[in-house]
Amino acid sequence: MTNEILRSLLPFAGWDDERANDLTITGNTDPILPTSFRVTDTSTAALGALGLAVSDLWESRTGRRQQATVDARRATASLRSGKYMQLDGAGVSTERNTVMGTYPTKDGRWSYLHCNFPNHRAAALSVLRVAEDRAEVTKAVAKWDALDLEEAIIAAKGAGGMVRTMEEWAKHPQAQAIASLPLMEIVKIADSPPESLPEGSRPLSGVRVLDLTRVLAGPTCGRTLAEHGADVMKITAGHLPNLGYQEYDTGHGKLNAQLDLRDEKQMETLRGLVRQTDVFSQGYRPGTLGGRGLSPEELAELRPGIVYVSLCAFSHEGPWASRRGFDTVIQTVSGITNRQGELFPGAAPGPQFYPVSAIDYLTGYLMAFGGMVALNRRVKEGGSWLVRISLAQVGRWLVSQGEIPESQLQNIPAEFTPEEVAGWSMVTETPMGKLGHLGPVLGLSETTPRWARPSVPLGHHDAVWPERSK
C-alpha cells in the first residue's frame, strides 16, 4: 500500500515510477496505532518522497544521487513527536485546555470547540455566554443546534465545527470544491534566471527560509528543511498567542525572531529579509498577507526566484476558503472523528480524534517536499514558484487511501515500546534546558539529516540573516 501512495506523489516532482527504486522502506504497515486510517502508509510515503527530493538537490550539487530510507514505525511516531519531549528529564505537558473538546447538542449531534488558543477560547465562551468551566460549557452547548453553533463561533472569529459523517461531508460545498483540486500545486508564477544552490556540504546548505507559520503543520515544514542544512528563521510577534511546547517540538534547527507586521518599520525589516531569502513559507488564510504586500506575486517582484510555500486550512477555493481551521477541526467536519469514535470508543461517548496529528505533520512534510521540488526547478529552469496546499486537501488525501478492514483492528497497541522511543530520541542543549526529543526520521546514504541549531524561545534572535551555512 505504501508504494501505491508514494507513486501518487511522484508526478508532482515529474518522476516516473522507477524513481521509487531509490527509496527503501523498513518496518510495518498499518495498523500500527489504533485507527483505521492509513497514518503509517501515508507518513512513510510523504517522508519517502521528501527523501527523493533531497536526493535530487544533492544531485544538482554533486552529480550524485543518494539512497533514502524510511522506517515505518518511526515515521508513525513522528506524527505525534510532541508527545515524546522531555525537558531536563521531565515530560513536557501537551494537555489541551479543559474546555476544548466535543459536546452533545440540542439536536442530537455533536459540536467541537477548539479552545487551546486564548482568543479562540474567548470567542467560544462569548458565544455560549459562560465562564471557562467544562460543566457550564456542556450545559450551554446543549441549548444549541450543532450547525447554528458552528456558524456562530466562526462569526465570532473562533474555531470549531459540527461533527459530520464522511457521507455528509462529501455532499458539502467545501468538500466538493476541494475534490476538484489536486493534493498540492507547484506552479511557476514568474520568470527569473536559473540559480545554482549556494556553496555547502549539505543538500540545502546556504538556502534561506523565512517561516511565517504557526502551530504544527507549517512549522514542521521549516523544521524539515532545517534537517537538510537550510538556514530557517521563524518570524512571529509578541502579541500573537502561542503554545510554548509546540515551539519546542517544531523549533529544531531554526533561528527565531519577532516582528510586528502592523508596524511599517518592522514590515520593512521583513521585506529586507525577503530580498535575501530563497523560500518564504506562510500559513495564513487566503488573501491575508496579500493585503500587506506579501502575496506570492508581490514577493516574486521583490525577490525574483523566490519559492513561496502557502498553507491554509480549507484551500483557496470554496465557501470556506477564508475559514480558520486546524487538524482537529478538519477531522471533525470531514467525518474522521465520527468514524474513529465508531471503531475506537473513548472513555466518554461520542466522536474521537485519531491518536496522532496526522494531517498536521503530513502537511508539513508535503510542504517541505514541494518546496524542495520547486528549488530544484529554480536551479534547472529558473523562475519564481508557488507551492500551495491546505489541511483539508491533505485530510482528503489521507481518507482517500481507504480504511483498514475492521477485522484487522483488534488488539492494536496504543504506544510504542520505551526501547523504541529511546532509540529514536536524542537530547539537545537548549536555552530552556536539556530537551529530549525524537530525531529526524529520514535516512540518507551520504548526508545524515541533523539540526545545526537547538530549539529556542520565541524572539531569541534578532531579525538579521547570519552568514549562509556551509
Convert the pLDDT of each residue in 89-114 to its tens digit: 888 766 777 888 999 999 999 999 99
How confident is the model at residue 92, as a pLDDT? 79
342-353 mean pLDDT? 91
Q: For residue range 272-320, what is the model confidence (pLDDT) as tens digits?
A: 999 999 999 998 877 766 567 899 999 999 999 999 999 999 999 999 9
Q: For residue range 38-73, what is the model confidence (pLDDT) as tens digits?
A: 999 999 999 999 999 999 999 999 999 999 999 999
- Say if residue 435's pLDDT is above 80: yes
How confident is the model at residue 11, as a pLDDT? 96
How confident is the model at residue 97, as a pLDDT? 76
Omega cis (within 30) before 203: no
CA angle 356, 360, 361 (to 5 degrees): 75
Q: Which residues pair with 224 in a beta bridge?
A: none
- Say if residue 175's pLDDT is above 80: yes
Least confident of 13-17, 113-117, 287-291, 344-348: 287-291
Q: Running DSSP on this structure, what letter comes out for residue 263? A: S
How confident is the model at residue 243, as a pLDDT? 66
Asked if residue 120 is part of any domain, the answer here is: yes
Asked if residue 154 is part of any domain, the answer here is: yes
Q: For residue range 112-169, what is the model confidence (pLDDT) as tens digits?
A: 999 888 888 889 999 999 999 999 999 999 999 999 999 999 999 999 999 999 999 9
Asked if residue 407 is part of any domain, the answer here is: no
Q: Which residues pair with 433 in a beta bridge?
A: 430
Residues contacting 383, CB < 8 A, separation 6+: 188, 189, 190, 191, 192, 305, 377
Instruction: Say how far apart CA 448 and CA 453 lie, in whole Å.
Output: 15
How confident is the model at residue 115, as a pLDDT? 82
Cell 520547486 sits on residue: 374
Cβ atoms 306, 210 nearer than 8 A: no
- Shortest CA distance to 37 belongs to which of 243, 265, 324, 339? 339
Give the CATH number for residue 133: 3.30.1540
What sections of 109-243 are H helices per DSSP? 118-128, 134-141, 146-155, 166-171, 173-179, 217-227
In order of 110, 136, 141, 164, 355, the CA distances from 350 in angstroms are: 8, 19, 14, 12, 15
Asked if residue 4 is part of any domain, the answer here is: no
Asked if residue 413 is part of any domain, the answer here is: no
Name the average pLDDT for the chain. 93
How confident is the model at residue 258, as a pLDDT? 94
- Say if residue 176's pLDDT is above 70: yes
How confident is the model at residue 290, as a pLDDT? 59
Domain span at residue 142 reads 101-177+324-343
Asked if residue 75 is part of any domain, the answer here is: no
In order of 19, 129, 300, 464, 468, the CA distances from 234 in angstroms are: 33, 36, 20, 11, 16
Number of compact structural domains in the chain: 1
Q: For residue range 232-248, what is the model confidence (pLDDT) as tens digits?
A: 999 998 777 676 677 88
The neighbour count for residue 200, using CB atoms within 10 Å, is 16
pLDDT bin (cut points 50, 70, 90) of residue 1 is low
Asked if residue 332 is part of any domain, the answer here is: yes
Greatest extent of the chain over all pairs of C-alpha atoms, in Å: 65
Handedness of CA 119, 123, 126, 129 (dihedral sign): negative
Give percent above pLDDT 90 in the chain: 83
Residues contacting 67, CB < 8 A, separation 6+: 22, 23, 24, 55, 444, 445
Asked if residue 222 is part of any domain, the answer here is: no
- Say if residue 354's pLDDT is above 70: yes
Cell of 266: 518592522
